[in-house]
């Protein structure tokens, strides 16, 4: 059994990792829950964002925080364009999965073509900076990622809960035809939400660039865990995605410390399978 300090430290890094999971899961959860579109391309988009932040930072020396401001509107427009294709071709939940899978492969090819298949690491002076709290170290960048994840999750929740647009979106997710009969222009709203989801991918991508190693094939590495987060957190529930992300991140990190790093992937999927089979009321 590892020492308590080690356990505490791995719990902290797990929670931080969970923030990153939640950040990626957020856009996926919203589009799946509220638009009934399973956007596999979300991962590819996040990595495209990550590579752009990396490229802007290393080649043109643009600070990552400014890079995000440039990428977010571009991605917002991309999200709306993609949704326009979905609307024109009346893409269903299942076809969306297949089409966005194709999009992911295309993005992966583009990434590999431009940046090659090599692993890349964006070195910034933020990396390696940690806060020391008692016996524990809290990595600065991961902490920011977690704070941003909490902020975005809460803001999305509040947006859905209290604003007209949010209520209209939830009504549309329940029953699009009835919502339309009450005068909700759900097409306009769905474009807005698609744009927002893509913008979330950009934000997530920036943090992926800052804290993790980049390679085109890494797109698929996140897929399983993040889907587990989305489902455990309930589709379309931003706060649920945040909590589920933290739960999975912490569980994985503790498993790495207690059992062995090689077995960590089993943890999130076992949690997912157990929850799916148990089907608690809140899921």
Partner 1 sequence: MTGVRPLPALGVGSVIVMLAALPVAGLPAFYESFLYLMFYWIALATSWAILSGFAGYFSFGHAAFFGAGMYATAHLTVKMEVPFLAALPVAAGVAALLAAGIGAVVFRLRRLRGELFALLTLAVTFIVATIILNTPIDGGAGVLTSSVPLPRVISSSPSGTLYLLGLIVCVGSLAIAWWVSRSRLGMGLFAIHDDEDVAEVKGVPTFTYKLLAFTLSGAIAGVVGGVHATYVGFLTVSETFGITVPLYVVLMSVLGGARHWAGPAVGAVLIAASLYTFTSGDQATIGRGIVALVLIVAILLLPEGIVPTVLKQLRRRPVTRATPPDAPIATQAAPKRSDAPVLVVQDVRKSFGGVHALRGVSLEVRQGEILGLVGPNGSGKTTLINMITGHFPLDGGSIRIDGQEIGHQPAHAIAQRGIARTYQIPRPFAGLTVLDNVRLAAMFGGTGLSGAALDAEAHHWLAFTGLAGKAASLPAELNLHERKFLELARALVTRPRLLLLDEVLSGLNPAEIDSAIALIRAIRDQGASIVFVEHLMRAVVQLSDRVVVMNEGATLASGNPREVMRDPRVVAVYLGKAHVA
Residues in contact with partner 1 by CB under 8 A are: 32, 38, 85, 89, 91-95, 97-99, 101-103, 105-106, 108-110, 112-113, 220, 223-224, 227-228, 231, 260, 262-263, 265-266, 269-270, 272-273, 276-277, 279
Measured from the CB of residue 155, what is the shortest distance to partner 1 in angstroms? Answer: 27
Residue 87 Cα distances to 33, 193, 256, angstroms: 17, 13, 44
What angle (nearest 5°) sits at the alpha carbon of residue 45, between those of residues 57 and 152? 85
Q: Read out DSSP for 191-206? A: HHHHHHHHHHHHHHHH
Strand partners, 18: none
Q: Are 139 and 16 in contact (CB under 8 A)?
A: yes
Measured from the CB of residue 113, what is the shortest distance to partner 1 in angstroms? Answer: 5
Q: Cα separation of 125 and 163, whole Å? A: 39
Q: Are 263 and 283 in contact (CB under 8 A)?
A: no
Q: Are 29 and 239 in contact (CB under 8 A)?
A: no
| Between 69 and 273, CB nearer to partner 1 | 273
| Between 97 and 150, CB nearer to partner 1 | 97
Measured from the CB of residue 220, what is the shortest distance to partner 1 in angstroms? Answer: 5
| Between 118 and 279, CB nearer to partner 1 | 279
237 three-class SS = coil
Measured from the CB of residue 272, what is the shortest distance to partner 1 in angstroms? Answer: 6
| Between 8 and 265, CB nearer to partner 1 | 265
Measured from the CB of residue 94, what is the shortest distance to partner 1 in angstroms? Answer: 6
95 three-class SS = helix
| Between 118 and 125, CB nearer to partner 1 | 118
């Amino acid at each position: 059994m590892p020492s308590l300090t080690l356990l505490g430290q791995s719990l902290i890094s797990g929670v931080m990792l969970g923030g990153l999971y939640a950040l990626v899961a957020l856009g996926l959860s919203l589009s799946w829950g509220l638009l009934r579109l399973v956007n596999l391309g979300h991962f590819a988009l996040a990595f495209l964002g990550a590579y752009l932040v990396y490229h802007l930072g290393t080649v043109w020396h643009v600070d990552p925080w400014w890079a995000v401001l440039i990428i977010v509107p571009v991605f917002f427009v991309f999200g709306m364009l993609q949704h326009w294709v979905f609307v024109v071709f009346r893409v269903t939940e299942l076809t969306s999965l297949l089409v966005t899978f194709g999009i992911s492969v295309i993005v992966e090819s583009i990434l590999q073509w431009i940046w090659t298949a090599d692993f890349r690491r964006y070195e910034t002076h933020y990396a390696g900076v940690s806060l020391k709290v008692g016996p524990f170290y809290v990595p600065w960048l991961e902490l920011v990622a977690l704070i941003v994840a909490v902020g975005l999750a809460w803001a999305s929740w509040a947006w859905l809960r209290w604003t007209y647009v949010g209520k209209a979106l939830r009504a549309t997710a329940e029953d699009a035809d009835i919502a339309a009969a009450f005068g909700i222009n759900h097409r306009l709203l769905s474009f807005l939400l698609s744009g927002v989801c893509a913008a979330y991918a950009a934000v997530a991508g920036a943090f992926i660039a800052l804290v993790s190693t980049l390679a085109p094939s890494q797109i698929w590495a996140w897929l399983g865990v993040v889907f587990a987060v989305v489902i455990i957190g309930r589709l379309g529930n931003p706060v649920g995605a945040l909590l589920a992300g933290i739960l999975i991140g912490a569980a994985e990190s503790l498993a790495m410390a207690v059992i062995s790093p090689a077995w960590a992937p089993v943890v999130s999927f076992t949690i997912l399978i157990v929850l799916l089979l148990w089907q608690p009321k809140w899921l």
